Amino acid sequence: MLRDENSKASGIIYSLTHDEIDKLYNGSGLLAYVPESLTATTKDNATLSVLCCNLRVPPATGENNPEYLEKLTACMKKYNVPIF
C-alpha cells in the first residue's frame, strides 16, 4: 500500500511479533515496505492499533508483480475481504 490519509483499505488483522514481521518482509525481498502505525476498525466496529507495512515511494512505472497480486487476491476472496 501507499500512504494516503484520505483513503480506506480492507485487510486481515493478525497477530505477529516485530521479529516475525521482519522475517516476513525481509525474507521475501520486500525491503521497500516499512511498518507504520494505524488505527483499524473491525467489522464489529472495534478500534485497534495495528501495524501496516506500506511503501514509502510508489513503484516505478511498469513495476509490478502479477504472481503476488494473484495470491493476494485469492487470499482476500477466501476470507471475504472487500477488493476495491
Q: What is the pLDDT of residues 23-63, one digit of tens each?
A: 887 777 777 888 888 899 998 999 999 988 888 888 888 88
Question: In sequence order, what are the residues at sequence separation of 6 or more whose Cβ sits closer than 8 angstroms to the Cβ of residue 61?
Answer: none
pTM (2 d.p.): 0.63
Helix/strand/coil percent split, the chain, to 5: 25, 25, 50
Confidence class for position 7, pLDDT limits 50, 70, 90: confident
Evaluate whether 53 touches 27 at the Cβ level (below 8 Å): no
Q: Which residue has the higher pLDDT, 51 or 82?
A: 51
Q: How far apart are CA 3 and CA 58, in angstroms?
A: 9
Q: What is the pLDDT of residues 8-19, one digit of tens each?
A: 888 888 888 888
